Amino acid sequence: MLNGNLYYVDNSTIDIVNKFNIDRLTQFNTLMIQLSGKDSDKIKKDKILTTELKKYLDKTDIQKINELLKKNILQQTEDNIINYIILSLPIV
């Protein structure tokens, strides 16, 4: 579960990431059940299973979520630097 202690991440983004991780774990467990007891020849012949494996291995959604988090964290880092310069550095 994602937690926003180190950086401020709004709850909607945390909910999106957590839901995605729950869905991925459910997919993984389903695939493991389907794969158990099958040899590689049966797996290669099962078109539905190979389609589900390809869907599980697709990284498109993970990349979108990572970009969203990076953008959020980068903006916070920039804001922290600006606040440090404005509020903490002595006036010369």
pLDDT in tens, 19-73: 999 999 999 999 999 999 888 888 889 899 999 999 999 999 889 888 887 877 7
For residue 44, the model assigns a pLDDT of: 87
For residue 56, the model assigns a pLDDT of: 92
pTM assigned to the model: 0.63
How many alpha carbons lie under 13 Å from residue 71 in its C-beta half-sphere? 8
Alpha-carbon distance 60 to 77, whole Å? Answer: 26
For residue 92, the model assigns a pLDDT of: 63
User: Is pLDDT above 70 for 3?
Assistant: no
Radius of gyration of the chain (CA): 21
* Residue 87 CB coordination number (10 Å): 7
Comparing 3-12, 40-49, 61-70, 77-86, the range with the smallest average pLDDT is 3-12
For residue 28, the model assigns a pLDDT of: 95
